[in-house]
Amino acid sequence: MQTLVIALGSLVLYLIAYHTYGRWLARKIFRLDPDAKVPSIELEDGEDYVPTQKGVVFGHHFTSIAGTGPIVGPALAVIWGWVPALLWVLFGSILIGAVHDFGALVISMRHRGQTVGDIAGRVLSPRARILFLSILFMALTIVLAIFGLVIAAVFKMYPAAIFPCLVQIPIAVIIGVWLHRKGVNILVPSIIALAAMYLTVAYGNVGFLGAFNTSLAAWPTIVWVAVLLLYSYVASVLPVWSLLQPRDFINSLQLLSALGLIVVGLMVAAFMGGAPIDDTATRPALAIAAEAYRPSGHGAPWIFPFLFVTIACGAVSGFHCLVSSGTSSKQLKNETDAQFVGYGSMLTEGFLAVLVILACVAGLGLGIPELVNGKATGAMLTGADAYHARYGTWAGSAGLGPKVGAFVDGSANFIKALGISPDFAVALMGVFVASFAATTLDTACRLQRYVTQELGRAVKCKPLTNKHLATIFAILIAGLIAALPSSTAPIGLGEAFSGDVSAVEITTVWTPAQVEVINNIEKSGGGLAGATLWLNNFSGKGGLLLWPLFGATNQLLGGLAFLVILFWMHRRNIPNWFILAPAIFMLLLPASAMLLQLFFGEEAWLTGEDPNYLLSAFGLATIGLEIWILFEAFAAWPKVRGILEESADAAAQAGEALPDGGRSC
């Protein structure tokens, strides 16, 4: 019953926050005006600026900001205990995350739909614009390089999710074209599409489709990454109404209905117990199997600041400011819709994170197969045994597979309590995770296109202001990083391709499976066969090289976005005390986490036993950029109070009027 009380209590708390704090922000602070000019109407172009109903924009915004962040972050953070994770998700999302997303959306709508990076150049200083855009470009590059791998990994773990995810694309295009030409409401066709989607989950892994899923799951990771980046290019240059909006809206209905199933299943499990796990028809009782607070004994880093950086999107995420100011601000047709989309979406994501926590600390306890050396023994684990089997150590819990698997298995246990078959429940949760990741990938690619174009205008590099060239440039950079092998490059890598594997240093970074691949390269005689083995088993995972940076970099973006919001309010004499504390917290928190990762502990990037100079260089550069921006902010703060920045119209005209002799790339 405790689990149900937490779930329902969290939902009530979020509803109260939306109608009190969210309404106060909308009416008293941002003063949303239903008659104000909005970018989607003022700059309507049928491609990026498209006036859209708030429900559709909510669907796009929610599915884009959610991604896998509110799943993998909380699913790992419960290793410190469920109470700290729950408290940060609840109060972080209400007081910090939702305010951040809402504020970024509002100021972007009042600056022609420009990103916070572009706006920083006017509210802070011109130099801050390039610094901010550079950080945005780096963060989005990491997202693009890693999310193809995330989707590929989910498809390999849950092949039954492949066809349902792929079929969303043609369905969305058909609906998008139909609605654009006929002008009918999107709800009815989307409900029909949702029903079709559930049918593909139920029957999309049977017969021919099952063989189809299995064959695609066997694709090398690099192939999946290439295909997904190519799809991202197409999705990011097409008009938003043709694919992005209908796909995201369908996904939002699918995901919200899946959340509803999880909640109903949780309620049934709370009163009746979970699905029987053996022939006795005994239903295991639902109870929280994890410790309330578990600060040590698992090998995890310090709870502060790493709990906050780990949970990330479940409470606050800098990536959200890009979605708010990059795509959503160009689609809202009324300024008053910003509260529902900006503040409401983050609260919905916070509730998702709450359900993830409950799935991992209580849902797992309803029964999971016992594994020994990765193979099922036939026995089932319940209660605390199930939790500790997944969260025994930090090293065993930190990978993508364990985190996604803990949520999928735990939430599937809730759904199975309704009498739904295990195969359908697991497939549905696999589609749930993959769909979130896919919407984040194509939105991130579109956002990177905007950031690249703004960088092109900032440095007067005219080719990068073209949307196709900007998108190709962004994808090439991400693709080159993704194509790298994820493990630390061993000594003698070149010799491995010539067949001389004796020169390859096998260190602790290589798994037994990877060692077997290297041995097979030796047996193949190297050359083309060796290169093929290497590409099939190692390439495509290069995003993992930079992924350790993302948590702190992502949170730093949140702090910098707060800084832009703070200056925007300071220039207008708007009370900003409630922004100041979150801004300071979000600037100091990620910096402290990155400094700890750089300089403290045996595995420190720079001073550890095995230094990682790539991460060290990026980490030091990120901290340097933050310090530079803070100096710019301190210098500007006393000078700008009550002084409005240059209008967005004037800035846009100046940015678009590139001289013929402007610097080329």
Tens digit of each residue's pLDDT (9 = 90 or more) over 274-293: 988 876 678 989 999 999 99
Residue 618 covered by a domain: no
Residue 598 covered by a domain: no
DSSP string, 335-379: GGGHIIIIIHHHHHHHHHHHHHHHIIIIIGGG-EEEEETTEEEEE
Give yes or no: residues 119 and 227 share one domain: yes
Tell me what pLDDT residue 524 has.
55
Range of the domain at 24: 2-362+389-484
Give yes or no: residues 192 and 60 share one domain: yes
Give yes or no: residues 57 and 83 share one domain: yes
Q: Confidence class of residue 505 from pLDDT cuts 50, 70 and 90? A: very low
Q: Confidence class of residue 529 from pLDDT cuts 50, 70 and 90? A: low
Residue 642 covered by a domain: no
- Residue 649 clears pLDDT 80, i.e. is over it: no
DSSP category for residue 107: H
Give yes or no: residues 410 and 504 share one domain: no
pLDDT (average), residues 415-439: 86
Q: Confidence class of residue 651 from pLDDT cuts 50, 70 and 90? A: low
pLDDT (average), residues 401-410: 83
Give yes or no: residues 498 and 452 share one domain: no
The answer to whether the CB of 548 falls within 8 A of the CB of 144 is: no
Residue 151 covered by a domain: yes
Residue 609 covered by a domain: no
Residue 593 covered by a domain: no
Give yes or no: residues 78 and 209 share one domain: yes
Q: Which of 466, 484, 502 is the last residue of a domain?
A: 484
Tell me what pLDDT residue 508 has.
34
Of 299, 314, 312, nearest to 358 by C-alpha is: 314
Give yes or no: residues 209 and 254 share one domain: yes
Q: What percent of the chain has pLDDT over 90?
A: 37
Give yes or no: residues 262 and 407 share one domain: yes
Lowest average pLDDT, out of 190-194, 227-231, 541-545, goes to: 541-545
Q: Which residue has the higher pLDDT, 244 or 8?
A: 8
Q: Which of 443, 458, 484 is the last residue of a domain?
A: 484
Report the Cα 477 to chain-centroid distance in Å: 19
The answer to whether the CB of 488 falls within 8 A of the CB of 510 is: no
Give yes or no: residues 217 and 245 share one domain: yes
Give yes or no: residues 160 and 80 share one domain: yes
- Residue 421 clears pLDDT 50, i.e. is over it: yes
Give yes or no: residues 357 and 461 share one domain: yes
pLDDT (average), residues 293-314: 87
Residue 253 covered by a domain: yes
Tell me what pLDDT residue 258 has.
87
Point out which residues pair with 376 in neighbouring strands. 371
Give yes or no: residues 293 and 400 share one domain: yes
- Residue 564 clears pLDDT 90, i.e. is over it: yes
Tell me what pLDDT residue 612 has.
86
Domain count, the chain: 2
Tell me what pLDDT residue 489 has.
36
Residue 85 covered by a domain: yes
Q: Confidence class of residue 491 from pLDDT cuts 50, 70 and 90? A: very low
Which residue blocks in 238-371 are alpha helix, DSSP H? 244-272, 303-311, 319-326, 338, 344-358
Q: Which of 537, 567, 601 is the last residue of a domain?
A: 537
Helix H or strand E segment including 637: helix 613-640
The answer to whether the CB of 164 falls within 8 A of the CB of 430 is: no
pTM of the model: 0.87
DSSP category for residue 332: B
Structure tokens given for 214? 């299995």
- Residue 523 clears pLDDT 70, i.e. is over it: no
- Residue 414 clears pLDDT 70, i.e. is over it: yes
